[in-house]
A and B are shown apart, each in its own frame.
Chain A
Amino acid sequence: MRENRKSFFGRTILNTCLCLAFFLIVEYMIGAKILNRYYTNILNLVLIYVIAAVSLNLTCGYLGQLPLGHAGFMSIGAYTAAIITTRFSIPDLGPISGEAVLFLLATIAGGILAMVAGIVIGLPALRLKGDYLAIITLAFGEIIRVLVQNIKITGGAMGMGGIGRYTGFGWGFFWTIMVVAFTFLLVNSRHGRAIKSVREDEIAAESVGINLTYYKIVAFAGAAFFAGVSGSLFAHHICYLEPGNFGYNMSIEMLVMVVLGGLGSISGSIISATVLTIVPEVLQTFASWKMIIYSLLLVVVMIFKPSGLMGDYELSAARLVRKVFRKKEETPKLPENYTEGEETDE
Chain B
Amino acid sequence: MNRKQERSPLVPVPSGFLMREEDVDKTPVLEIRHLGVDFGGLVAVEDFNMALGRTEIAGLIGPNGAGKTTVFNLLTNEIEPTRGIIMIDGYDTRGRKPHEICRMGVARTFQNIRLFRNMTVLENVKIGLHNEMKYSIGEAVLRLPRYWDNESISDMRALELLSFFNMQDMAGWKAGSLPYGAQRRLEIVRALATNPSLLLLDEPAAGMNPSETVELMNNIRRIRDEFSIAILLIEHDMNLVMGVCDGIVVLNYGKIIAKGSPEDIMSDPVVIEAYLGKADQ
Q: Which residues of A are in contact with B by a Cβ distance under 8 Å?
A: 1-5, 8, 181-182, 185-186, 189-194, 196-197, 200-201, 203-212, 218, 312, 332-335
14 further A-B contacts with Cβ under 8 Å, apart from A189-B141, A190-B154, are A185-B140, A185-B142, A189-B135, A189-B151, A190-B133, A193-B127, A196-B123, A203-B78, A207-B78, A207-B98, A208-B191, A209-B103, A210-B99, A312-B118
Residue of A nearest to B120 (CB): A334
Contact B120 A197 (CB under 8 A): no
Contacts of B126 in A (CB 8 A): 190, 193
- Do residues B116 and A196 form an inter-chain contact, with CB atoms below 8 A? yes
Q: Would you list 9 pairs from A and B whose C-beta atoms are within 8 A, ordered by A residue?
A: A189-B147, A194-B130, A196-B118, A203-B114, A207-B76, A207-B102, A208-B127, A209-B102, A332-B172
A207 pairs with B107, CB closer than 8 A: yes
- Assess whether B123 is in contact with A193, with CB atoms less than 8 Å apart: yes
**A211→B194 CA distance, assembly (Å):** 14
Of all chain A residues, which has the CB nearest B117? Answer: A200
- B222 on the A face (CB < 8 A): no
- Whether B120 pairs with A185 at a CB distance below 8 angstroms is no
**Which residues between 151 and 178 of chain B lie within 8 Å of chain A, taking CB atoms?**
151-152, 154-155, 171-172
Q: A2-B152, A334-B172 are in contact. Are A197 and B127 (CB under 8 A)?
A: yes
B135 engages A190 (CB within 8 Å)? yes
Interface residue count for B (Cβ, 8 Å)? Answer: 45
Nearest 9 A-B pairs (CB), nearest first? A189-B140, A209-B102, A200-B116, A204-B114, A206-B98, A185-B141, A190-B133, A209-B131, A208-B128
Contact between A186 and B151, CB atoms less than 8 A apart: no
Identify which of residues 60-97 in chain B touch chain A, using a CB-to-CB cut-off of 8 Å. 76, 78, 97
Q: Is the CB of A197 within 8 A of B143?
A: no
For residue B119, CB closer than 8 A to chain A, the reply is: yes
User: Would you call A200 and B118 a contact (CB within 8 A)?
Assistant: yes
Q: Once bound together, how far apart are the Cα atoms of A172 and B129, in whole Å?
A: 38
Complexed CA–CA distance, A210 and B128 (Å): 9
Inter-chain contacts of A211 with B (CB < 8 A): 97, 99
The answer to whether B150 has its CB under 8 Å from any CB of chain A is yes
User: Which of B119, B151, B172 is within 8 Å of A1, CB to CB?
Assistant: B172
| Nearest chain A residue, comparing its CB with the CB of B133 | A190
Q: In the docked arrangement, what's the CA distance between A208 and B199, Å?
A: 12
Q: Mark B33-76, 1 if CB is under 8 A from A, else 0.
A: 00000000000000000000000000000000000000000001
Q: How far is the CA of A218 from the CA of B136 in the complex (A)?
A: 12
Name the residue on A nearest B122 (C-beta). Answer: A334
Known: A185-B140, A201-B116. A208 touches B193 (CB 8 A): yes
Are B127 and A205 in contact, CB atoms less than 8 angstroms apart? yes
Are A204 and B110 touching (Cβ within 8 A)? Answer: yes
Chain A residues, Cβ within 8 Å of B191: 207-208
Nearest chain A CB to B159 CB, angstrom units:
9
Contact across chains for B147 and A212 when beta carbons are under 8 A apart: no
Q: A63 CA to B85 CA in the complex, in Å? A: 34
A225 CB to nearest B CB, Å: 12
Within the complex, the shortest CB–CB distance from B104 to chain A, in Å, comes to 10
Task: Give the chain B neighbours of A190 by CB distance below 8 A.
Answer: 126, 129-130, 133, 135, 140, 150-151, 154
Known: A186-B137, A204-B115. A210 touches B130 (CB 8 A): yes
- Which chain B residues in 164-209 approach chain A with CB under 8 Å? 171-172, 190-191, 193-194
Bound-complex Cα distance A185 to B123 (A):
15
The CA of A209 and the CA of B132, in the complex, are separated in Å by 10
